Amino acid sequence: MKDSTLQKSKNILTLIAVNLAIAFICLEALSLAFYFINQKQFFYTRTKAKEKVVEDIERIGIRLDESIVERLHPFFGYVLKQGAFTNERLKLKVNKHGFFSQYEYPFIKTNKKQFIIGVFGGSVANNFAVDEYKNQRLSKKLQSYPEFADREIVLLNFGNGGYKQPQQLLILNYFLALGQELDLVINIDGFNEVALSNLNNKAQLEIGMPSVQHLQPLTSLASNVSPEAMTSIVNINETKKQLKAGIDKLQNCQLALCHAVTSLRVKQLVNNYQQAVVKYDAQVKQSNPDNANSSIVYIPKAESVLPEAAAFDKMASIWYESSIGMNQILSSRNIKYFHFIQPNQYYPTKRVFTAKEKEIAISKDSPYIAGVNKGYPVLLSKVNDLQKAQVNVFSAVNILDNTKDTVYKDACCHYNSVGEEVLANYISSSIIKVVRKSK
């Protein structure tokens, strides 16, 4: 009897094990199919490319290491936290002045062959400088011309995400006052001046002030925060820790089932994070209904939201006067100034977007579309006036039109390696034309 009962138990356990094995195989097969549909490659032989969910997180703007890497600055509005984003291999880090660079400022020449180029602007300018640190595209292009053949190009990055005029003008003045030597200055802008200034206007913040998207989180922390908002901050940070752990696990999964389950978990955490941020913003507004008076940071408010036509005229005027100012200051010191209006996917040109760009670079819900569509034409209408004022200004809005490859890497404004190559080529050829013409 005991043997019969034992045999039955073994049979039941075997049946359970077989069913579990079949269930696992089925789930693994479904997970493999799910992965192939989403990633267009087989899971077990996949390349170690960046996970799609990670790309989605980056496009949303979630920073997993730190909630806020900017710090309020008494002159520039904000800068990056010193020491952030360190890349030891390239000797890159955020220097003591808050700029991502290989150098501390002021940089002093160590030999007469060094030729110092300062790059100013927002994140596109910052990315251009970082790409130069990695690939030396601009240096190699310039050094291919006799005029720069024996020069050691030293590029200093004065750009940061969200910067817009007159921040470039103020930063230039500050570092010249500190004794920073410059041989040539490149200013890459246009997008932030209209896209982010448009958001300033809608938020009834002075158009000439730094980006409301960047200032608001910093000034909110400097204000009186309610206990409810503090609880939300704790929840946001805890969710980010879980997100980081989930992504680490995702990248180390050996089974497709593990990858599928973890992906779903990460997506849920992303939703939780976004909901927590919305809740936090509402709590901050509720606890500080009159933020301008309750904050210890003074940010001048506009009397009213300007009508679109008046707002874009004001944006363009500030942009124009700031470029004139930079040119006058640099010309008085015999330093050449080059101003480039950056291309952007939301400003219509003859460019035909690739399938990849339509997926990752175009967002119908982007808050920047209106600013670019209505603001770029106003900026471009002032190019002739800048040229008449002896400013070396170039419209680069069409330079990506003849490139059939994917050039945009996100739904904002940034370029991949192909786009950076095109931009470096255009900037270097524009510089050499002016240098030769001025001889």
Nearest-angstrom CA–CA distance, 280 and 232: 6
* Count of all residues that appear for the chain in the document: 439
Which residue ranges in the chain fall short of pLDDT 70?
1-4, 6-8, 28, 32, 38-40, 43, 45, 47-68, 221-226, 229-230, 233, 277-278, 280-281, 283-295
Instruction: Judge contact between 117 and 183, C-beta under 8 A.
Output: yes
* pLDDT tens track for 68-102: 678 899 999 999 988 877 788 888 999 999 999 99
Question: Beta-carbon neighbour count of residue 96 at 10 Å?
Answer: 11
> How far is residue 311 CA from its own chain's centroid?
25
Structure tokens at 300: 């001048």
Q: Strand pairing of 70-73 and 77-80?
A: antiparallel
Three-point CA angle 60, 63, 64, nearest 5°: 120
pLDDT score, position 265: 84
Listed in sequence order, the residues at least 6 apart from 365 whose beta carbon sits closer than 8 Å to its beta carbon are: none
The answer for residues whose C-beta is within 8 angstroms of residue 116's C-beta and 6 or more apart is 107, 109, 154, 155, 156, 181, 182, 183, 184
Q: 205-219 in b/e burial notation, b at 16+ Cβ within 10 A? A: bbbbbbbbbbbbbbb
Interatomic CA distance for residues 25 and 265, integer angstroms: 21
Q: Is the preceding peptide bond at 367 cis, omega within 30 degrees of 0?
A: no
Ramachandran region, residue 92 (left: φ > 0; alpha: ψ -120 to 50; beta: rest)? beta
Q: What's the confidence (pLDDT) of residue 234? A: 72
Residue type at 159? Answer: G
Question: Phi and psi of 110, rounded to 5°?
Answer: -105, -10
- pLDDT (0 to 100) of residue 253: 81
Of 389, 399, 386, 406, nearest in space to 425 by CA: 399
Q: For residues 193 and 318, what is the distance between their CA atoms, to the nearest angstrom? A: 9
3-class secondary-structure state, position 369? helix
379-402: per-residue pLDDT in tens?
999 999 999 999 999 999 999 999
